[in-house]
Amino acid sequence: MSEAQVVRAGYGEKLEAVNAIHERLLSAKMAIVTEYRGLTVAQMTKLRREVRQVSGEYQVIKNTLVRRALKDTDYGDLEKLLEGPNGWVFAYDDPILLSKTLLKFAGDNDKLTIKGGVFEGRFMDSAEVKVLSQMPSKPELQAKLLATINAPATQLLRTIQEPGAQMVRLLESLRKIKGE
């Protein structure tokens, strides 16, 4: 194989990698850039597992590949964070739940720092990612909505049952008085 063929073969692999990253960005609801220097292999494995459990993905990607993949996406603002080694978090389902998981991990492991992210086309610095993580997640909101929907029915049922319950309490007190 000639040197030119080797170079072209390497370029083809890089192009495939850029396309794969581009596809991830297009399908993700949110992307967060982190610095991971100092994390052990065990910590990285734990981080990836925790992110995967909340329908996300954590990857270490070369900055040159990411720069090319960011073109024609909503994540172009993240290019200014591309200094040093970066870990990328992609949220595919619930960005709030993923940001909660990521911030909890970062709190437990001071070597992981959040540089920033993009959610719904809007750039967020690390403080805004933290604010996002404090919002209720999708399951929490669904539970609150269900409780709100059920509240009137529950209240109505209590109101309907109250006269009968009062009668039972009255009869029980009369029985105790007659029994003495």
> Global pTM?
0.71
In this predicted model, what pLDDT tens digit does every residue of 138-179 receive, in sequence order?
777 778 778 788 777 777 778 888 888 888 888 888 888 887
Is pLDDT at 4 greater than 60 in this prediction?
no
**In 10 A of CB 87, how many CB atoms?**
23
> 99 and 54 in contact (C-beta within 8 Å)?
no
Q: Is 180 helix (H, G, I), strand (E, B) or coil?
A: coil
| Nearest in space to 106 (alpha carbons), one of 81, 128, 130 | 130
Instruction: Please state the φ and ψ torsions of residue 111, each to the nearest 5 degrees.
Output: -75, -20
Quote the mean pLDDT of the chain. 85
- Residue 172: CB atoms within 10 A of its CB come to 10
Both tokens assigned to 149:
């929907």
Q: What is the mean pLDDT of residues 20-46?
A: 92
pLDDT per residue as tens digits for the range 50-73: 999 999 999 999 998 998 899 888
pLDDT tens-digit series, residues 123-140: 999 899 998 888 877 777
CA gap 26, 35 in Å, rounded: 22
C-alpha dihedral (53, 55, 60, 61), degrees to nearest 10: 170
